[in-house]
Amino acid sequence: MRNLLFVMLIFAGGCATRSKVARPILTSAPPEALDAARSTKVVETRFDVPSYRDPAASNVRHKAHAIFRETRVPLKSKEFATEPVSSYQDSQYVPLPPSAELKAEIETQKTITADLRAMQISMAETQRKMQAQYALLVKESADFEKTRAQINIKNAHNIGPANGPAAPSSGGPNSSAENKW
């Protein structure tokens, strides 16, 4: 109940009657301002500002943005072409004049670049072929080792006590040549 009474006092206490305020009524603008407005127009110029770090607070970085400047210019001039500042070359920049030597060097560089690209493609193809050959070699080596193991197992079964090498004979000089060694 107390809260309700408090809320009602706040709403009722906040209301005020409107007081009458005298406002001047303008009938017309001064003739000088009208003449100036008729003989001029507003031209808007855009200035692009890159992002920058605030010098007052080093942890604040401002994003790149555009600033527009309105300038009042006379109507008599028919055209005001505005361009961004970045479209003009720096006054200190002096490009080299075109020359035959420069053109020849550029053509040489283009030829070298084309050759390098062709070599890169050729090397990629060679690498792909080498990887295929290596995979085949690994497979064949595995098959060879498997076959070798099978042959060793068969040889181990064939050389048994019954089929073992013959015992050397104790014969004289007339014994076979097989037993000499």
Which tens digit of pLDDT belongs to each residue from 68-122? 888 887 776 666 566 776 777 777 777 777 788 888 899 999 999 999 999 999 9
Which of 39, 86, 82 lies closest to 64, judged by CA? 86
Spatial distance between the Cα atoms of 100 and 106, rounded to a whole number of angstroms: 10
Query: So where are the chain's domains?
Result: 32-87, 98-157
| Amino acid present at 109 | Q
Q: Provide the b/e sequence for 62-76 (b: ≥16 CB within 10 Å).
A: eeeeeeeeeeeeeee
Spatial distance between the Cα atoms of 46 and 66, rounded to a whole number of angstroms: 6
pLDDT at 176 over 60: no
Q: What is the CA radius of gyration of the chain?
A: 51
Tell me which of 3-7, 130-134, 156-160 is least confident: 3-7
**pLDDT for 40-64, tens place per residue?**
778 888 888 899 898 999 899 999 9
The DSSP output letter for 138 is: H
Dihedral sign computed on CA atoms, order 137, 139, 145, 151: negative
pTM (two decimals)? 0.31
β-pairing verdict for 52-53 and 40-49: unpaired
Tokens read off for 106: 């550029």
